[in-house]
Amino acid sequence: MKALKHFGGGVLVLAGLYVLLPLVVFDFTSAAVPHDEENFGTQEVAIGPKPRWWVPKAAYDLDVPGGFSYDPSGWPFVVWKPMCVAFLKFKGYALPVEWR
């Protein structure tokens, strides 16, 4: 019974981290735009909230005049894909082609 409590506590900690870490990893004030897609119909395409500048390996490439460009296979977008899809639907963006 004690092992089951420890296992349940570990699962709760991991679930809590999964829910709370996006607040640290992402900047929810703007959207991350993919490097190879602009529009889908009348909607602008985005991948999710923009990762913070210090998150390693989140950006696809640095385009100095335009800032960073992003790819849907970046680790923050893969790990938190359900949250990214919900963000895009809430903000009215289209999903990238890899996710349609």
Radius of gyration of the chain (CA): 16
What is the reported pLDDT for 93?
Answer: 96
Question: Using CA of residue 42, residue 86, residue 98, residue 77, what is the dihedral sign?
Answer: positive
Q: What does the pLDDT look like over 39-95, one tens digit per residue?
A: 888 999 999 999 988 888 777 666 545 567 788 888 999 999 999 999 999 999 999
Residue positions counted in the chain? 100
Residues 6 or more apart whose CB falls under 8 angstroms from that of 68 comprise 32, 50, 53, 59, 60, 61, 62
Strand 26-32 relative to strand 43-44: parallel, antiparallel, unpaired? Answer: unpaired
What is the reported pLDDT for 36?
Answer: 78
pTM over 0.85: no
